[in-house]
Homo-oligomer: A and B are copies of this chain.
Amino acid sequence: MKFIVIGGDAAGMSAASRAKRHNPDMEIIVLEMTQDVSYSACGMPYNIADTGRDIDDLVVRKAKVFREKQNIDLRLGHMVTKIDPVKKEVSGTDKDQNEFALPYDALLIATGASPKMLDVPGTHYPGVHVLKSLSDGRKIKSYLRENQVKRVVIAGMGYIGLEMCESLRKLDLQVDMVKPGDAFIPWTHPELSGAVQEEVENHGVNLHMGQNITEIQKDGERLIIQCTGMDLPCEMLLVAIGITPNSRLAKEAGLSLGPEDAIAVDKSMETSCDGIWSAGDCADAFHVVTGKKVWIPLALRANRGGWAVADNVSGKRTELPGVAGTAVFKVFDMEVARTGLTEKEAMEAGFSPASVAVTTRSKAHAHPGNQPVHLYMIGDRKTGRLLGAQMVGKDGVAHRINAAAVALHAGMTVEGFAQSDLAYAPPFGPVWDPLLTCANQLIKEL
């Protein structure tokens, strides 16, 4: 049994490691085009803010360990350029530009995703960065170290942009953020979005909504970011306008693609072609609320998907129910979390959504350190089902969202969820947990 894995980050290395644990005799080859494997990509914004730490601290397990301790044939600098599903062969070029061709019995495509680039003149200038791979992080960190950077413009106000604005402010840089849309966080309720916006602006970040970047110009040592209505001079531009799945190889091999051209997989993570699997940021998933396909590339799913592939290629049939779209990020002291559908997504999926936004507090009455907790919850009028929840606050938001996530997996109604026996002690919340208060309000709307 020869198991080939394309891509050596979360999904790829999880799969390779677990398959080897299941079956030490399996021949496993991992083909990674960069020199980096198995690192905590999500930790990069925090590491970049910390000049005392090396970016390579984020490496979870070194290539050497995979090779020598785990007996995985890990080949760095190997770029796969073609998959032939008929011959069951992958081919490409190695780090010395020599061509290779390898037959496989089972193949995992774990090629990840790539950051989107602005489609404007000037993106080739030094000082224009993206942040997806460890190599990107390394470049940003050395660029900041080696240049007189005082002002950074960030294109985009998603997770990465917001996490990075905090890091850059910690480094005492001026930060301007730019996006075309008018809403700061368009997927949530204005009350929640407003609380986050206030936190970001209170930390001196300049937000420019409704601004398209039209051109990047170079003016001596500095860049001029030309926007629809203004010019922003800076020494560095971080483009964080989203990512796109690396599905070209799969597409050229004739595999089916799913939403946003992610590689379509079934619940066992197998693609439309027998014996070819996909996991990680390049693959799609079923949404547990809608039952429909979505592309929500996040770290836990990548690891879980890698494991499932390892189980399946090892003969241990495993199916994954899917994702709830649970996500959290921190920006300055604000925690922003979501799970399930937004109201718009619920509508598009054919539900009849009702929703409420409420503000409660993070601790018991009269307990010191109380912080507002803003919640937004969506339910279905027809079935009473809980469809989604979103939370924003400085205290106890990140872990609280998980209770709602589990309820989505279980297909609970809002009424059922509102009856949950959640923990209470004064330092950790009011008697009625914010999620229960919000659910109780939502019941009235259903």
Contact = CB atoms under 8 A, between A and B. Distances in A.
Interface residues of A, number: 70
A183 interface: no
In the complex this chain forms, how many copies of it are found?
2
A91 interface: no
A332 B403 CA distance: 25
Contacts of A301: 421
A298 interface: yes
A422 B398 contact: no
A432 interface: yes
Interface string A12-50: 000000000000000000000000000010110011001
Contacts of A433: 300, 402
Interface stretch (A246-254, A345-353, A362-370, A376-384): A362-370
A291 to B, nearest CB: 14
A406 B399 contact: no
A299 B403 contact: no
A46 B300 contact: no
A435 B403 CA distance: 12
Interface of A: 10, 40, 42-43, 46-47, 50, 53, 57-58, 60, 288, 298-301, 303-304, 320-330, 335, 337, 339, 364-368, 396, 398-410, 412, 416-417, 419-429, 431-433, 435-436
18 contacts: A40-B364, A40-B366, A42-B424, A46-B367, A60-B365, A300-B433, A330-B428, A398-B399, A398-B423, A398-B427, A398-B429, A399-B399, A399-B403, A399-B423, A400-B402, A402-B403, A402-B420, A410-B416
| 9 closest cross-chain pairs (CB), A and B | A410-B410, A399-B399, A328-B423, A398-B428, A402-B403, A324-B421, A406-B406, A326-B421, A43-B426
